[in-house]
């Protein structure tokens, strides 16, 4: 296993936070003896890349275990290049804080060793949530969290053994695996208990863009659908869904989310939080000052609410590792709260979020305001300009920025990252106005989408009324009928004829191109309540301004126009 | 021209800042009478798109004058949609601040009108610098600032009348037109007086990436080359270049930069700055409280140095317009200093910068430090990962961030925008560590390049020595020879054989793969001074750490490795 029976630093867990801690620490203080125990065979693999190996887009598994210069990350690699010891197939089965030792079991020969430490680092990650329904033992009903899961899926896919697939859980992994299924061309059903996919980081009307994209790619998406049980019939999985009856498939992926793998910590008496994550201070230190923890096994402070939360994200794990190493090396690094910046590719749609959703902000009792906008990611005249829809959540009283959600084929990445940087500094709406973004026609418009969102938020202060995008999930048709509102579509005539809006339903629709609106105000009934619709939301905003100045009182803009409707 | 002889607000200039001011103002205060005079026929066109119309990538010119929904931006459009009056072909020939009028000449019938104002907005833009050498009057020796220039270039290109082209001036427009020339396949020479292209926003070793990209695409780039004169021989332009003799071509583009078009302002007594730009306060008000100015005709405060500067960028002009409108409408908007965020596409290379270059920071007397790194824009295992080289400039004493430069095929946009947001808040190196970027394998690595740059800057505090990339322009070969340094190449054997480094020249080179370095330290001479080289810089940093811990004293990392060398 390893010659010595004591190390200055013992690290438990070898995927992200663990190896990062070891590597930074060995560089910062090469005189320390460091050993990392990893219970699995694989170590420091790109776990976020598993769906792309499953889909075949990453052709060989070893790509995930190699450095960018093609060297395999083996225990020898860590010894020679990174300067610390790694023992794989070695499970830490107990932590003994009183005498500062860990008990390690070899997964090969079952032998037991005791290893001493001065500092211990727990980086045990997360494990799949136990489903709230019966699940049979079967090689074709699997979680998707380990390399073996991806390898098995890929092997069966290549052999043509999967014709039909069910994915239970429409979070990040569920959506990524649904995309993988479209690459293989499987007959796929995605089942999500919540009324929307991606419920963690997105509000319903934004998540709808991902759902529609999956549907466009042939996936059957069942939202608001609870699995009652999974059984086997002639070894084939059969899923009972409350809203859809029985579904028989060749393979089932369970992606219901994860919980912190904190059992070792709990057993040795470390303080855990409500979500079973290990509690750490801003130095990533647990309730035992000699023990640090990082990665998906800890609870973190939400940088916006100040409350504890559980956000298993690979980028955070790596940053935790750095902070832990720095502190053990004698520095004074702190990990500031998490903001929840996350991206997920769903076929051709880029989905991104950071901060609080509207839903989450309302739950915090904040006086939430939202604006939505549809944008091109570069000038319309430049070839291959792509669209996106953004939703900004902010505090209507203080103007404090709370969150941004993005969906579309366009470049959402810049906006998520910039918004994240602003959230970190407790930015307000007006700060967005001061953003100096990089501009050139191949990359962007002269005004950034974030500038426009800020202008809309300012306009709301002056009376602009914006309604959520008229997506199926925003409950519009009912609203329209109930309130007797009238749609005012200000697109050009040819656009109006070409793109029909199913959400209009049987409601009254008046179409006047924006350019003619001033001259045709007489056609509108001042007692009516109007919802103004256009392509991206910009013309509707302009029309609102014209109507408002003409004395109309009950007028609303449909946020993000048709782009927001996720047709 | 226009019926009334007085407006609440008169705007002079109709490209970017002017129309933006009018549109926002009419929305903010619809009771104001507003008129905009534009001396040219074209109005509110995407002037930054002219190079892409010239290249044919934007197929029809009218794309640049239309809204994203396909409506032409005519005076009628501004009247009907935006709510203010626009008069084209109308040149304001004098401003009379004493009686608050402007004198307007119709370019059609030469008639003269006087028009009164309460507030005046000057948005006259910039005009080409007068070359410091003789230039003949000829339709094929042209500046490239007006729609007519692009239209003429495109027309002659399509007719096959341009076989050879010279571009004088290698700034943004010069490089964009060089790219346009590669689309047409012209025999093209780019002549730049400075020793590098893109001298405004980039240091030499970073600009070299753009130069090499142009050369790879067949452009002959002459840097440090002064044009002595341009003459005509049988109506064909002949350029005398001090370092290259005579160059005869079919067409010459003069892109030597621009100066503020401030003549009207000067004549009416408004205060101008050293660069002839109109002086404005943070509300964009000139020395006459009734007169505002914005866009390329003003000098702006540099947000980092606090000094006046001239930065003609389309994104700034639009933001100026907003601030002016807000203030005239009775609000209190301010324009905070400029950071100089700029992007330019040079064939397949994305070039971006924000803040101060190393050169500019040194000129300010700041104790400058720099770090360089080469990065993939997503994990190496993910298909189509692309590379980039970043250079970060910061204050070595306070850690204050000063500037970022980026070059490469990868996604530099996020990094420029995030860095800009951090500069705006006077961010320091440690703030970068706290960045929570959006991460998923199709978009990014778990650690952002900005995290790595910050780590390197922190390591420099602890003794890391990093030398500039070993580009031709960094003067390396001389340095090596003089100091007797030895190259230590820590790449894998096959990489070492496959990619030769011309910069190694005849210097001594030792090659030991990083993974073997700890075991082969005996092969190195502890009295020697080593420069460590690898692919992107990360392995060299690791090797530095190993050597440093082994007691080696004179060791340096070659910043950004081979990626930085712009081979």
Residue range B133-189, pLDDT digits in tens:
999 999 999 999 999 999 999 999 999 999 999 999 999 999 999 999 999 999 999
Tokens of B165: 């082209």
Extract the tokens encoding B152.
């003429």
Q: Which residues contact B198 (CB under 8 A, 6 or more apart)?
A: B170, B171, B172, B175, B207, B210, B344, B351
CB contact under 8 A, A441 and B52: yes
Selected residue of A25, A46, A316, A421 to mutate for chain B interface (largest B Cβ count, 10 A): A421
Give the alpha-carbon dihedral of B558, B559, B561, B567, to 10 degrees: -100
Which residues does residue A457 pair with via DSSP β-bridges, in sequence order?
none
Write out the two tokens for B406: 């980026």
How many other CB atoms sit within 10 Å of the CB of residue A367?
Answer: 11
* Model pLDDT for residues A244-266, shown as the tens digit of each residue: 999 999 999 999 999 999 999 99
pLDDT at B472: 64
Q: Which residue is closest to B66 within chain A, CA to CA?
A: A381
Cα–Cα distance measured from residue B199 to residue B187, given in angstroms and rounded to the nearest whole number: 24
Contact A420 B414 (CB under 8 A): no
Check residue A214 and give its pLDDT.
Answer: 98
pLDDT score for A171 = 97
Q: Which of the 8 DSSP states describes residue B474?
A: G
Q: Which residue among B46, B76, B413 sits closest to A381, beta carbon to beta carbon?
A: B46
**Contact between chains at A437 and B315 (C-beta distance less than 8 A):** yes
Minimum-distance CB partner of B69 among A76, A333, A535: A535
- What six digits make up the tokens of B96? 């009379």
Query: At A316, which helix (H) or strand (E)?
Result: helix A314-328
Q: Answer whether B421 sits within 8 Å of A422, measured CB to CB.
A: yes
Answer whether A438 sits within 8 Å of B451, measured CB to CB: no
User: How confident is the model at residue A193, as a pLDDT?
Assistant: 97
Q: Is the pLDDT of residue B323 over 80?
A: yes
Q: Which of B246, B228, B23, B51 is nearest to B123 (CA)?
A: B23
How far apart, in whole angstroms, are the C-alpha atoms of residue A462 and residue A458? 7
In chain A, what is the greatest distance between 2 CA atoms, to the nearest angstrom? 90
pLDDT at B481 over 50: no
Residue A516: list chain B partners with CB under 8 A: 80
Alpha carbons A277 and A300: distance in angstroms, whole number: 8
CB A15 within 8 A of CB A47: yes
With an 8 Å Cβ cutoff, are A413 and B418 in contact?
A: no
CA distance A268 to chain B (A): 31
CA dihedral A213, A219, A223, A228 (to 10 degrees): -160
Q: Note whether B2 and B85 are within 8 A (CB).
A: yes
Q: Which of A429, A433, A439, A420 is nearest to B340 (CA)?
A: A439
In 10 A of CB B218, how many CB atoms? 14
CA A131 and chain centroid, separation: 21
* Catalytic residue, candidates B48, B107, B347, B528: B48
Contact yes or no for A102/A264 (Cβ under 8 A):
no
Q: Which of B106, B526, B542, B271 is nearest to A23 (CA)?
A: B542
Measure the N-to-C terminal CA separation of chain B; round to a whole number of Å. Answer: 58
Tokens of B392: 């970060």
| Among B269, B330, B266, B280, CA closest to B308 | B280
Report the distance separating Cα B165 and Cα B237, nearest Å. 10
What DSSP state is assigned to residue A82? I
- Cβ–Cβ < 8 Å for B330, B345: no
Cα–Cα distance, A203 to A408 (Å, whole number): 15
Q: Which of B387, B381, B442 is nearest to B411 (CA)?
A: B387
Q: What does the pLDDT average to over B524-528? A: 92
What are the structure tokens assigned to B217, written together? 């695409």
CA B550 to chain centre: 44
Starting at the edge strand that comes first in sequence, how are the strands of the sheet with A509-511 ordered? A466-467, A555-558, A530-533, A486-489, A509-511
Alpha-carbon span B194 to B225, nearest angstrom: 7
C-alpha B269, offset from chain centre: 32
- Confidence label for B350 from pLDDT (cuts 50, 70 and 90): very high
Q: Around Cβ B159, how many Cβ atoms within 10 Å?
A: 8
SS3 call for A377: coil
* Pairing, β B187-191 against β B220-222: parallel
Side-chain half-sphere CA neighbours of A53 within 13 A: 26
Rounded to 5 degrees, φ, ψ at B242 are -60, -35
Residue of B nearest to A446 (CA): B315
Average of per-residue pLDDT values in chain B = 95
Which residue from B312, B325, B244, B252 is spatially nearest to B284, judged by alpha carbons? B325
Please answer yes or no on whether A438 and B413 come within 8 Å at the CB atom.
yes
User: Given a cut of 70, is residue B480 above it in pLDDT?
Assistant: no
Residues of A in contact with B495 (CB under 8 A): 69
Subunit contact B438:A81, Cβ cutoff 8 A:
no
Contact A420 B443 (CB under 8 A): no
Facing B437 at nearest CB: one of A341, A425, A492: A341
Question: What contacts A522, CB < 8 A, 6 or more positions away?
Answer: none
CA distances, B491 to each of A305, A505, B484, B506, B511 (Å)? 46, 64, 22, 19, 7
Q: What local confidence, expressed as pLDDT, does residue A483 receive? A: 60
Is-contact A541 A456, C-beta < 8 A? yes
**Token representation of residue B183:** 């689309």
Query: Which residues is B351 bridged to in the sheet?
Result: B344, B407
Interface test with A, best of B303, B417, B458 (most A CBs within 10 A): B417
Chain B hits for A201, CB-CB cut-off 8 Å, are none
Instruction: Give which of B25, B123, B433, B441 to mutate to test A binding, by max A Cβ within 10 Å.
Output: B441
C-beta atoms of A354 and B83 within 8 A: no
Pairing status of strand B349-355 against strand B368-376: unpaired
Contact B421 A416 (CB under 8 A): no
Q: Is B437 in contact with A455 (Cβ distance < 8 A)?
A: no
**What was the pLDDT predicted at A2?**
81
Q: Determine whether the interchain pair A447/B318 forms a contact, defined as Cβ–Cβ distance below 8 Å.
A: yes
pLDDT digits (tens, 9 = 90+) for B221-268: 999 999 999 999 999 999 999 999 999 999 999 999 999 999 999 999
CB pairs under 8 A between A and B: 270
Nearest to B280 by CA among B356, B336, B201: B336
HEC letters along B78-114: HHHHHCCEEECCEEEEEEECCCCEEEEEECCCCCEEE
* Close Cβ partners of A478 (under 8 Å, ≥ 6 residues apart): none
**CB B514 to CB A341 under 8 A?**
no
Rounded distance, CA A381 to CA A270, Å? 59
Per-residue pLDDT band for B479 (boundaries 50, 70, 90) equals: very low
Inter-CA distances, A258 with A130, A204, A275, A316, Å: 9, 22, 11, 16
Instruction: Test A546 with B64 for CB contact under 8 angstroms.
Output: no
Contacts of A460 in chain B (CB under 8 A): none
User: Closest-CA residue in chain B for A376?
Assistant: B68
Enumerate the residues of chain B whose CB falls inside 8 A of the CB of residue A58. 381-383
- pLDDT greater than 80 at residue A25: yes
All residues of chain B having their beta carbon less than 8 Å from the beta carbon of residue A63 are: 380-381
The closest of B70, B98, B104, B69 to B86, measured between CA atoms, is: B104
In this model, does residue A364 exceed pLDDT 60?
yes
Tell me how close the Cα of B227 comes to any Cα of chain A, in angstroms: 28
Structure confidence at residue A336 (pLDDT): 92
Question: How close A522 gets to chain B, by Cα (Å)?
Answer: 15
Residues making up chain A, counted from first to last: 567
- pLDDT tens track for B14-60: 999 999 999 999 999 999 999 999 999 999 999 999 999 999 999 99
Nearest to B315 among A315, A446, A516 (CB): A446
- At A161-181, the pLDDT tens digits run 999 999 999 999 999 999 999
Radius of gyration for chain B, computed over Cα atoms and rounded to the nearest angstrom: 26
> Which residues from B are below 8 Å from A418, CB to CB?
414, 417-418, 421
Distance, CA of A169 to CA of A221 (rounded, Å) = 10
- List the single residue in B with minimal CA-CA distance to A440: B343
Sort B133 into a burial class: Cβ within 10 Å, 0-12 / 13-18 / 19+.
Answer: middle
Checking if the pLDDT of B473 tops 70, the result is: no
Q: Which of B69, B431, B535 sits opposite A491 (nearest CB)?
A: B69
Q: CA-CA distance, B45 to B15, in Å (whole number)?
A: 6
Nearest chain A residue to B381 by CA: give it: A63
Asked whether the beta carbons of B370 and B357 are under 8 A apart, the reply is no
- Rounded distance, CA A37 to CA A24, Å? 17
Helix then strand then coil, in percent of chain B rounded to 5, is 30, 25, 40
- How far does Cα B367 stand from its chain's mean position? 24
Closest-CA residue of A relative to B312 is A439
Report the first-to-last Cα separation within chain A, whole angstroms: 58
Told to judge if A534 belongs to the known catalytic residues of this protein, a careful annotator would answer no
CA distance A239 to A249: 8
Chain B residue numbers with beta carbons less than 8 Å from the beta carbon of A517 are 80
Question: What integer pLDDT is reported at residue A482 of this predicted model?
Answer: 44
Selected catalytic residue, list A48, A107, A528, A548 = A48
Say if the Cβ atoms of A57 and B83 lie within 8 Å. Answer: no
Pairwise CB contact (< 8 Å): A317 & B539: no
- Chain B positions touching A382 (Cβ under 8 A) are 49, 52, 57-58
Q: In B, which residues are within 8 Å of A319 by CB distance?
A: 433, 436, 447, 451
Distance from the A247 Cα atom to the nearest Cα atom in chain B, whole angstroms: 31
B-chain residues near A71 (CB < 8 A): 492, 515
- Residues in B closer than 8 angstroms to A403, CB to CB, are none
CA distance B350 to chain A (A): 9
Mean pLDDT score, B84-99: 97
- Neighbour order of strands in the sheet with A401-408: A342-346, A349-355, A401-408, A387-395, A368-376
Task: Calculate the alpha carbon distances from B186 to A466, B50, B157, B163, B347 in Å.
Answer: 52, 18, 9, 5, 14
pLDDT at A74 exceeding the cut of 60: yes
Our measurement of the distance from residue A200's CA atom to the centroid of its chain's CA atoms, rounded to an integer in Å, reads: 7
The answer to whether residues B118 and B22 touch, using CB atoms and an 8 Å cutoff, is no
pTM for the full predicted model: 0.97
């Amino acid at each position: 296993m390893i010659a010595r029976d004591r190390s200055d630093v013992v690290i438990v867990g070898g995927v992200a936070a663990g190896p990062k801690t070891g590597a930074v620490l060995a560089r910062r203080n090469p005189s320390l003896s460091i050993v990392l125990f990893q219970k699995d065979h694989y170590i420091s693999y790109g776990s976020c890349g598993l769906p792309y190996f499953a889909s075949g887009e990453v052709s060989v598994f070893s790509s995930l275990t190699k450095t960018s210069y093609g060297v395999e990350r083996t225990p020898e690699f860590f010894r020679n290049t990174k300067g610390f010891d790694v023992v794989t197939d070695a499970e830490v089965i107990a932590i003994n804080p009183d005498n500062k030792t860990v008990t390690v079991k070899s997964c090969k020969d079952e032998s037991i060793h005791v290893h001493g430490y001065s500092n211990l680092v727990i980086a045990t990650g997360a494990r799949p949530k136990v489903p709230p329904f019966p699940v049979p033992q079967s090689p074709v009903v699997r979680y998707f969290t380990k390399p073996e899961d991806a390898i098995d899926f890929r092997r069966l896919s290549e052999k043509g053994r999967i014709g039909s697939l069910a994915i239970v859980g429409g979070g990040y992994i569920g959506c990524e695996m649904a995309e993988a299924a479209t690459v293989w061309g499987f007959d796929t059903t995605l089942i999500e208990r919540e009324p929307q996919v991606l419920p963690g980081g997105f509000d319903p009307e934004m998540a709808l863009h991902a759902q529609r994209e999956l549907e466009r790619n042939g996936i059957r998406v069942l939202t608001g659908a609870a699995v009652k049980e999974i059984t086997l019939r002639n070894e084939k999985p059969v899923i009972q869904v409350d809203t859809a009856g029985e579904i028989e498939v060749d393979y089932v992926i369970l992606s219901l989310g994860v919980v912190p793998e904190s059992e070792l910590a709990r057993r040795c008496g470390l303080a855990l939080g409500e979500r079973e994550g290990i509690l750490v201070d801003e130095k990533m230190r647990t309730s035992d000052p000699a023990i640090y923890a990082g990665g998906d096994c800890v609870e973190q402070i939400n940088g916006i609410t100040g409350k504890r939360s559980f956000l298993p994200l690979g980028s955070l794990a790596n940053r935790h590792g750095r902070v832990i190493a720095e502190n053990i090396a004698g520095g004074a690094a702190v990990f500031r709260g998490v903001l929840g910046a996350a991206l997920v590719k769903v076929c051709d749609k880029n989905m991104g979020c950071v901060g609080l959703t509207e839903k989450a902000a309302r739950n915090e009792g904040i006086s939430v305001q939202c604006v939505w906008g549809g944008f091109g990611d570069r000038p319309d005249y430049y070839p291959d300009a792509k669209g996106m829809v953004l939703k900004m959540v902010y505090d209507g009283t203080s103007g404090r920025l709370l969150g941004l959600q993005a969906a579309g084929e366009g470049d959402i990445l810049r906006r998520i990252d910039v918004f994240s940087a602003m959230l970190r500094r407790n930015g307000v709406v007006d700060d967005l106005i001061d953003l100096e973004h990089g501009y050139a026609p191949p990359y962007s418009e002269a005004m950034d989408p974030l500038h426009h969102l800020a202008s809309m938020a300012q306009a709301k202060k002056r009376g602009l009324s914006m309604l959520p995008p008229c997506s199926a999930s925003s409950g519009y048709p009912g609203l329209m009928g109930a309130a007797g509102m009238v749609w005012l579509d200000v697109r050009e005539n040819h656009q109006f004829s070409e793109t029909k809006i199913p959400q209009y339903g049987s409601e009254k629709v008046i179409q006047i191109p924006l350019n003619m609106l001033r001259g045709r105000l007489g056609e509108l009934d001042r007692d009516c309540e109007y919802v103004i619709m256009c392509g991206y939301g910009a013309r509707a905003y302009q029309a609102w301004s014209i109507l408002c100045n003409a004395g109309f009182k009950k007028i609303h803009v449909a946020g993000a126009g048709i782009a927001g409707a996720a047709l």
